[in-house]
Amino acid sequence: MKEMPKLKIGKYESRYPVIQAGMGVRVGNAALTAAAIECGGMGVISSVGLGEDFHRSLKDYEIESEKNLSKEIRKARELTGGKGPLGVNIMVVLTNYESMIKTAVNEGIDFIISGAGLPLRLPEFAKDRVALVPVVSSARALELIVRTWQRKYKKAPDAAIIEGPLCGGHLAFTNEQLDNPKEYSLEILYRETKDVLDRYSLGGVPLIAAGAISVPEDVLKAIEWGYQGVQIGTRFICTEESGMSEEGKKLYVSSGSNDTVTISSPVGMPVRVIKSPLVERVLSGKKEPFACPYKCLRSCDKNKVLFCIARALLYAWKGNIDKGLFMTGYDLSRVNDIIPIKKFFDDLDKLARAESSSHQENRP
C-alpha cells in the first residue's frame, strides 16, 4: 500500500477510512462518536433508544425520540468543537423513521446511514446537503436502491455500506446463507456491488466494508479488495468510550465466536447475539413478560414475539446480564480487551506507515 487512503463521503472527508458503526440502544452514543471523530475517523450516532424516557407512551415516544436525537447530536458536536464528519444511523424498520431523518437533517447532520430494510424513500426526507448512505448485503439490493433513487429523485448514493454475513446486529441474509458465509464474503460482495455501480456509471461511489473488521490488518485487507473504507461495530463496543455497560463490555471480551448464535429478532431478520441467559430462554421457546406502551418497529407483533428487543437492549446497556440482549459480530475471538478507541487508530497508523515504507523499499 502506498499510503493510507482518506475516506470521502459526499463533501465530507476523514483522515482514516474508518467509520465507527451506529449502534443502538445507546452503545454508539455521543461520547464514542466524538472520540472516533477526534481520532480521525467518521462518527455515527444510532437514533434508536436514546435518552432516559424513550419508553413512554406512543405519543411521548415520538416526541422524546426527536428531543433525544437532537440532544445527542448537539452533545457530539460540543465534544468535538463542531468537527465532523458526524452521521446518524436510522433504520428503515423504525415506525418513526421519517421524523428521525427530519430531526437529524434539521440538526445539520453531515450524513445519514440507513439500512435494516431498503431505504428507497430516504432522499425524499433529506436535504441535498446531507450525504446519503444505504446499507446493503447484496448487489440486488444495491441495484434496486440505485435504480429507484435515479428514477424518482435523480440522486445517487454518496457511498454504500456492504454488510457481510459475519456482521454484528441484524443480518440481511437467510439462515441458509449464514451457514455458508464464504459464498457471501466481503471480497465477493465487493466485486458484485462494484459491478452494479459500474453498470450505472457510478464507479466513483465509495463502497465500505462491514463485518468482522476487528484489527488494523482487516482494514488494509478491505482496502486491498477495493473498498474505500470500513465500518466497525463490535471492536468499538469494547472501548473505554462506548456506551455499553462495564458488565456488558466484560461479557464481550470474555466471550468467543462459539458463544454467539443467530436468533430471529422482532425486527423480522436474524440477529447475531451472545448466548446470554435471555437468549437461552428465547431459544427454548419461553416468552419474556413485557408490556408494549409504544410500537417502535413496523415489523414487530407484540402478541407473537418472545421478547421486547428495545427492553432487552436497554437491560444490556444497564448491565443486566440475565435480561440483556447483547448484539455482536461473529469475530468475538479477536476482541479480547477494552481499549481506548485511540489505540485502534494509532495501531492502524503504525501498520499503514510500515506497509507504505516497505512498498517504497520494494519499488524497482
Ligand X SMILES: Cc1cc2nc3c(=O)[nH]c(=O)nc-3n(C[C@H](O)[C@H](O)[C@H](O)COP(=O)(O)O)c2cc1C
Interface residues toward ligand X, by CB under 6 A: 21-24, 27, 46, 48, 89, 91, 115-116, 135, 163, 167-169, 210-213, 231-234, 237, 327-329, 331
Q: How far is the CB of 210 from ligand X (least distance, A)?
A: 4
Decide whether 80 or 245 has the Cβ nearer to ligand X.
245
Q: How far is the CB of 12 from ligand X (least distance, A)?
A: 18
Q: How far is the CB of 28 from ligand X (least distance, A)?
A: 7
Q: How far is the CB of 358 from ligand X (least distance, A)?
A: 27
Question: The C-alpha cell of 143 is what?
Answer: 441495484
Q: How far is the CB of 112 from ligand X (least distance, A)?
A: 11
Decide whether 167 or 308 has the Cβ nearer to ligand X.
167
Decide whether 71 or 356 has the Cβ nearer to ligand X.
71
Decide whether 116 or 205 has the Cβ nearer to ligand X.
116
Decide whether 273 or 364 has the Cβ nearer to ligand X.
273
Answer for the pair 244, 314: CB distance below 8 angstroms, yes or no. Answer: no
Q: Which residue has the cell 463485518?
A: 211
Decide whether 10 or 115 has the Cβ nearer to ligand X.
115
Q: How far is the CB of 289 from ligand X (least distance, A)?
A: 24
Question: Exposed, middle or buried: residue 137 (CB in 10 Å: 0-12, 13-18, 19+)?
Answer: buried
**Which residues make Cβ contacts (< 8 Å) with residue 180, sequence separation at least 6?**
none
Decide whether 7 or 212 has the Cβ nearer to ligand X.
212
Q: How far is the CB of 152 from ligand X (least distance, A)?
A: 23
Give the C-alpha separation, 41 to 39, whole Å: 6
